[in-house]
Amino acid sequence: MKHYKLTSVSAASIAIASMGASAQAEDLTLCWAAWDPANALVELSKEFEAQSGHTMSFEFIPWPNFADRMLNELNSGGKLCDLLIGDSQWIGGGAENGHYVKLNDFFDAENISMNDFADATVYAYSTWPKGTENYYALPAMGDANGWFYRKDWFERDDIKAAFQEATGRALAEPKTQKEMLEIAQFFQGREIDGQTVYGAAIFTERGSEGITMGVTSALYPWGFKYENTPGKYDMEGAVNSAEAVEALEFYKEFYKTATPPGYTNSYMGESLDAFKSGQVAMAMNWFAFFPGLYADPNTGGDKIDFFVNPPQNQAGSTLGGQGISVIAYSDKQDAALEYIKWFANPEVQQKWWDLGGYSAHKAVLEDPGFVDSAPFAGDFLEAMGAVQDFWQEPAYAELLLAMQKRIHDYVVADQGTAQEALDKLIEDWTETFEDEGKL
């Protein structure tokens, strides 16, 4: 394991202060989604303001509106944002359409090495074309879809005995997707402390990205691939493979037999609400929310625990998270680049983790104490070792809407078969890539 030397606080402060002294003080606006990590970033950024002389303003958009609002801003050449923590899927469009400043020369000049960041995050958040050394963002917020559960229920003698009798095995964190469904079905409709509870909250939302982020948490562990050959867009036999069909059928069974009634359009907020209100034994959601869940006075603390998305045929987790980019239309690019340099510092990255953000810096992640620094830290590391992301193509929004429709129609609306849904999805995606000149 490589060891990373941390820059001393005083040296980092002097470096930032000297940059600030040589440049005019600016009012920078950073755009992101409105959620707990954004609040942590506001707190963290006070240090940058003090050291640089610049003032930070923030534009945080609720998740359901984030993509529409920000992509419209970028496509119109707007100057609202100097810095944008944009979703991983936007990197292709940000690069090809000239929205993001290419950062290679800046990284070279400031000795910022992408080798210092977790490989999966560099690949997913920073590079376009994928896997090349063309960088349009610095990894800012590592994230993946994971799980949490009512540890206090799992540890009750009466519930453990009933599960053992029903299944022939001990109640514990699931080791496979199918074990997870079995646990969820066991809790479905069960009465606990006079309240009827349900198995799990999963993602079914149709309007933005919800059901796609949920169903890929089953598809990836079954072995789903977008292409047979990376970069060739040869989807037949990959997107609609036998394993993909089985995984999609599994997700529908999960929805039909082990979720709260009426959760036909649920995403992040609904998952959190179902868990915090005591409705469900388990729930999926992004690791970004886990610090807040653990701190919850009613269902956090010793009542909650966490696990990585279970494997089936292989390990696999749905990637979340974002990189931070400098907007090409900004008149304050030099000051925005100062922020990137400051944020890349390992000392700052450690504070980012301590405040509730998810650092992607190896100096933080590979520290011997990291795994024990939070009850979900080890699961986060494991998840990030097997993440996959949706298409990052410039036409990603059109590709995503097609998947949202096909999957929701099958899983929630009971239309057709899993095979038909995936076959139609290939037709949709083929048409998009033909329009893009890629097929």
Contact predicate 28/56, CB 8 Å: yes
More confident residue, 47 or 24: 47
The answer, yes or no, to whether residue 21 has pLDDT greater than 80, is no
- Structure-token pair, residue 108: 């070279």
Mean pLDDT, residues 16-37 taken together = 77
What pLDDT sits at residue 10?
A: 34
What is the pLDDT confidence band of residue 13, given thresholds at 50, 70 and 90? very low
Task: Give 226-242 pLDDT, tens digit per residue.
Answer: 999 999 999 999 999 99
Q: How far apart are CA 42 and CA 28, in angstroms?
A: 12
* CA dist 244 → 209, 221, 297 (Å): 19, 10, 40
Cis-peptide into 368, omega within 30 deg: no
pLDDT digits (tens, 9 = 90+) for 222-279: 999 999 999 999 999 999 999 999 999 999 999 999 999 999 999 999 999 999 999 9
Comparing CA positions, the residue from 87, 46, 320, 312 lying closest to residue 179 is 312
- Under the banding of pLDDT at 50, 70 and 90, the label for residue 24 is confident
Model confidence band, residue 23 (pLDDT cutoffs 50, 70, 90): low
Residue with tokens 């598809």: 219
Judged against a pLDDT cut of 50, whether residue 1 lies above it is answered with no
Q: Taking the model in full, what pTM does it have? A: 0.93
What pLDDT shows up at residue 178?
98
Distance (Å, rounded) from C-alpha 94 to C-alpha 103?
13
Q: Strand, helix or coil at 17?
A: helix
Percent of the chain's residues with pLDDT above 90: 94
Cis peptide before 297 (omega within 30 of 0): no
